[in-house]
Structure 1
Amino acid sequence: MAADNTRLTATEWVAGFSTGELSPVDATRDALAQIEKHDPDLNAYVLVDADGALAAARESAQRWEGGNPIGLLDGVPVSIKDMFLTAGWPTVRGSKVIDPEQEWTVDAPITARLREHGAVLVGKTTTPELGWKGVTDSPLTGITRNPWQPELTAGGSSGGSAVAVATGMGPLSVGTDGGGSIRIPASFCGIAGLKPTHGVVPVYPASAFGPLSHAGPMARSVDDLALMLDVLALPDYRDPTSPPPPIASYREAVRRDVRGLVVGYSPNLGYVDVDPRVEVVVREAVEALADAGLRVEQVDPGFTDPADAFDVLWSTGAAFALDAMGVEDSSQLDQGLAAVWQRGQKRSASDYLAATATRMQLGIAMGEFHQRYDLLLTPTTPILPFAAGHDVPPDSDYLDWPSWTPFTYPFNLTQQPAASVPAGFTEDGLPVGLQIVGPRHSDDLVLAACRLFEAVRPWTDGLAAF
């Protein structure tokens, strides 16, 4: 066990609970202490329920002492991005236009599964308004900051979750990903995050961003991603897009031997400008995987930038969400979101169908790619974390947030599983992410490749920025 318990993974905590060496109460107190210490500076949480968490932890401790844990995560402190309904807590999604004083009685599927498996729900993490962009700030909750250098952005939209995990404010969190929102902050904050195949993690209510939107685990180890996915992927009748329940455990599948697989490495997808500092770190990570037994070939997947199709689907989703909420006055909104709303209102049904056709063609192209290559490796983002409080790097030529994250949103369009794992650090100490993409429904394969990389380039010992 680690000398500093706040650095323990969820898997290590559960092992300690089973032997009696560790207690859910200690785990929860440690997480709460880290929140008290770091959250005033980093702003990862929008809500913390210390009393409720400690009460749940004491109940969990009694179950473990009696030899009757109720699930895979019994006693593990977990945070939830404030996009998921949570009975008893407001879900305001970073917006001033949602009334927090209304009655909150419904659990989203992920919340329900976490409760059923005994997780200790600590609180809810920050999000930009409606999770609309790749950084985490909102008119309601302010700016969420990077744990490595607080003057920089944590990324988004699941930035609060990434910061919470990276700083020991709980070993696990759940994020959403409609264009990179798990993978971007995972890369910027130096943790691991998985966007599963669309539908693997049931969602309710359905996201306004429809086929782009995914939910998934964020953690400090690949074993923890697999552990959490075994819980989150359990079925829920409220999501009709969900596939059948997994046949096997992700905790077992993550240990499959992937050496000998043929993988494609695309340093720029054929069209992306990449910061040389990012390129160097990612290339070294790919070389480590090749040395470990993957058969790596440098190749581009062969598609052009699908930014226009993504924008149509993204902007119409934003417009649908805000129209459904009855928003009439945009003055209280994030003004970037207001602009996307207005753009989406001008889109036609033909625009949407054309974008959907592009999405389908891209999926076919990637399906063909995966006939030859088991996996695709890329940088997670082409840039490093930039100044907090900005949607794009100041003094850059980027026009909007998707323009600086071109490696992530294509795989929301295709609905493939894609993970970001810590590839390494630049000379000035900023984390860089490696993205591992697999064919649809190959979440187990993606996790196994992530675990191989973790084995040859361990990151957890030096991970936490506190």
Structure 2
Amino acid sequence: MDARRPTATELGAAFAAGTTDPVAETRAALVRIEDGNDAVNAILFTDTDGALAAAEESAARWERGAPLSPVDGVPTTIKDILITRGWPTLRGSRLIDADQPWEEDAPTVARLREAGCVLLGKNTTPEFAWKGVTDSLRHGATGNPWGAGLTAGGSSGGAAAAVGLGMGAWSVGTDGGGSVRIPASFTGTVALKPTFGQVPLYPASPYGTLAHAGPMTRTVRDAALMMDLLARPDPRDWSALAPPVRSYLDGLDAGVAGLRVAVSPRLGFDVRNDPEVDRAFREAVDVLADAGAHVEEADPGLEDPVDAFHTLWFTGAAKVVQPYGPDALDRIDPGLADAIRTFGLERTASDYLDAMAVRMEHGRRMGLFHQEYDVLLTPTMPMPAFPLGRQAPQGWPEPWTSWTPYTYPFNMTQQPALSVPCGLTADRRPIGLQVVGPRHADALVLRVGEAYQARTGWHDAVPTLLDPETEE
């Protein structure tokens, strides 16, 4: 498989310089899909003719000196949760009929299309994006660029695997409890869960204000570049925030000197990290300390909000399934059906309000915590990727929230959280570093991630499936 994986930033510069063009790069991305998708099952639908036609139009715009944006022509994939004009959005479920009109773009898709990005196809997701691994009854399981027999994580596992293998320079995913950050950690890629409302969503997620959309890329710079496209209001999202006053690229290289950085290797929870995760995390912290950050170990004083999260998450999941009839629970992922029966159907309005109260208290505590610290560092995941086909790592309970303790708390608080690769285990499985900031501090979180990547090379590590010396 072709190991060349140009970033969106690199492609935009090359298009401007005339050293390559959108048609050549789209063809190359399509070849990588053809060569690699059987191994990892990252892409469920490819629009070859539409992509090549869009690339031809982009190439003509560059030739005229009139690109729609600096990333006009960049090959792009879309998580199959986000509605896309002309393409079925199946959400990993056999409940959804593909044969119906698909006439509208989600806000994220619309912004990428308006920027001239070449849309290649849709990425796999578990049914209704409900869990932390990517498998579904409709589309099967998604493997990892670092080993086809490893999970890519979820629920944006298809997007992460595609980005890791160069099946398009970047993708856009959704995150309701870690769904861009979990697979980013497992695949050695970058993902940002922005402040809630900074990237508009439509249709509104049934998971409510837990759900965010955000960039999935190979570098922090590309994530900042995509945020410039996505962080624009859309009239269909009543909760969308105003756009930032400046580009996310402004100040990206300002470094971390003088920043107050809290370090929490376990977030104050009773979590057992893999020893190699602990090692990589400590080494990442040292990198930022050497760059001038004032580093201090400190926990924010949270109690694990998992019970409240389950109430909010699975009442939303129950609402997703409800329109498909009384037998819908018998036709979906059995794990999802069990969780809906356990956590979703029996919850009352009072239970929901109690869960919201937990959420508000966590938000208050984190707001006060960030009066003392600019950002918080945690591992993204307590372990590296585990074998494909499992719903949890060896020795962990099966509910996906049991093994994702560092991600879903920050969906509860709506804060920006970035995952960047920070190491490899001895057997070459990626490890992620999570950078969490106060609400509306997305640019700061990206700045910290960029400072880390400027001093390390983990984001350039070549996945096993692209390395002829280690290919399975």
TM over 0.5: yes
- Decide whether the 8 Å contact of 1:139 with 1:332 is kept in 2: no
Shift of 1:327: 5.4
Q: How far apart are residue 30 of structure 1 and its match?
A: 1.0
Partner of 2:470: none
- Name the stretch that deviates more: 272-281 or 172-181: 272-281
Normalised to the residue count of structure 2, the TM-score between the two structures is: 0.96
Structure 1 residue matching 2:174: 3-state secondary structure: strand
Q: What code does the residue aligned with 1:167 have?
A: L
Q: 1:425 offset after TM fit, Å? A: 0.7
Task: Write the distance in 2 (CA, Å) between the matches of 1:67 and 1:327.
Answer: 56
Q: 1:117 aligns with which of 96, 115, 118?
A: 115
CA distance in 2: counterparts of 1:260 and 1:361, whole angstroms: 29
1:39 maps to 2:37: yes
**What per-residue deviation string (whole Å, max 9, x for no partner) do you get for residues 116-161 of structure 1?**
1000000000000000000000000000001101111100000000
Question: Residue in 1 aligned with 2:399?
Answer: 400
Q: Which residue matches 1:168? A: 166
SS at match of 1:207: coil
2:266 is paired with a residue whose SS is: coil
Q: In the alignment, which residue of structure 1 is the partner of 2:314?
A: 315
User: SS state of the match for residue 361, structure 1?
Assistant: helix
Q: Deviations over 1:24-49 (max 9, x none)?
A: 01110111111011101100001101
The 5 A counterparts of 1:236-315 are 236-271=234-269, 272-315=271-314
- Does structure 2 conserve the Cα–Cα contact (< 8 Å) formed by 1:423 and 1:431? yes
Distance 1:413 1:325 in 2: 28
Asked if the contact 1:34/1:168 (under 8 Å) is kept, the reply is yes
The Cα of 1:8 is off from its aligned counterpart by 1.1
Pair 1:154–1:327, CA change in 2 (3 A) = farther
Residue from 184, 187, 197 that aligns with 1:186: 184
Residues 146 and 382 of structure 1, relative CA distance in 2, 3 Å threshold: same
Is the counterpart of residue 379 in structure 1 residue 383 in structure 2?
Answer: no
AA aligned to 1:302 is G
CA contact (8 A) 1:72 1:118 kept: no
Separation of aligned partners in 2, 1:463 and 1:179:
28
Which residue in the other structure is 1:367 paired with?
367
Matching residue of 2:420: 421
Counterpart residue identity of residue 351, structure 1: D
1:399, distance to aligned residue in structure 2 (A): 3.5
Query: What CA RMSD, in Å, does the superposition of the two structures yield over aligned residues?
Result: 1.2
2:15 alignment partner in structure 1: 17
> Partners of 1:10 and 1:336 in 2: how far apart?
37
Contact 2:322 2:328 in 1 (8 A): no
2:469: which partner in 1?
Answer: none
- Extract structure 1 runs of 4+ deviating beyond 6 A: none
Match of 2:104 among 103, 106, 112: 106
Question: Equivalences for 1:39-58 in 2 at 5 Å?
Answer: 39-58=37-56
- CA–CA distance in 2 between the matches of 1:253 and 1:365? 28
SS of alignment partner, residue 367 of structure 2: helix
User: Is the 2:124–2:156 contact (alpha carbons within 8 Å) kept by the matching residues of 1?
Assistant: yes
Contact 1:392-1:399 within 8 A present in 2 as well: yes
- Is there any run of 5+ residues in structure 1 with no aligned partner, and where? none
Gap regions ≥5 residues in structure 2:
467-472
Q: Match of 1:359, as an amino acid?
A: R
Name the residue aligned to 1:446: 445
Structure 2: which amino acid aligns with 1:409? Answer: Y
Query: What is the rounded CA distance, in whole Å, between the counterparts of 2:267 and 2:461 in structure 1?
Result: 30
TM-score by length of 1: 0.97
Q: 1:263-293 CA distances to partner (integer Å, 9 max, x unpaired)?
A: 1000111222111111111111111111111
In structure 1, the residue matched to 2:225 is 227
Show CA shifts across 1:285-307 (max 9, x none): 11111111111101111111111
Give the alignment partner of residue 146 of structure 2, picking from 137, 145, 148: 148
Asked if 1:410 is matched to 2:378, the reply is: no
Alpha carbons 1:75, 1:119 under 8 Å: kept: yes
Aligned partner of 2:71 among 70, 73, 82: 73
Aligned residue for 2:27, secondary structure, equals helix
1:324-346 deviation per Cα after TM superposition (whole angstroms, max 9, x unaligned): 34453323200011112223011
* AA of the residue aligned to 2:262: G
Residues of 2 paired with 1:189 and 1:144: CA distance?
A: 12
> How many pairs were matched up?
462
Code of the aligned partner of 1:124: K
Distance in 2, matches of 1:286 and 1:309, equals 31
Identity %: 55
Deviation at 1:64, TM superposition (A): 0.1
Instruction: Output one character per residue of 1:352-396: Cα deviation in whole Å (capped at 9) or x when no partner.
Output: 0000000000000000110000000000011121111121124x2
Deviations 1:192-228 (A, max 9, x none): 0000000111000000000110000000111100111
SS for the counterpart of 2:110 is helix
- The answer (yes or no) to whether the contact 1:157–1:182 under 8 Å persists in 2 is yes
**1:165 to partner: Cα distance:** 0.3
The residue type equivalent to 2:46 in the other structure is V
Is the CA contact (8 Å cut-off) linking 1:165 and 1:219 kept in structure 2? yes
- Between 1:134-143 and 1:315-324, the stretch displaced more is 315-324
CA offset digits 1:42-76 (Å, max 9, x no partner): 00001101111011001100000010001232000
Offset, 1:187: 0.2
Q: Distance in 1 between matches of 2:251 and 2:135?
A: 36
Q: Does structure 1 conserve the Cα–Cα contact (< 8 Å) formed by 2:396 and 2:402?
A: no
2:215 to 208, 214, 217: 217
| Alignment partners' CA distance in 1, 2:107 and 2:139 | 25
In the aligned structure 1, how far is the partner of 2:448 from the partner of 2:328? 47
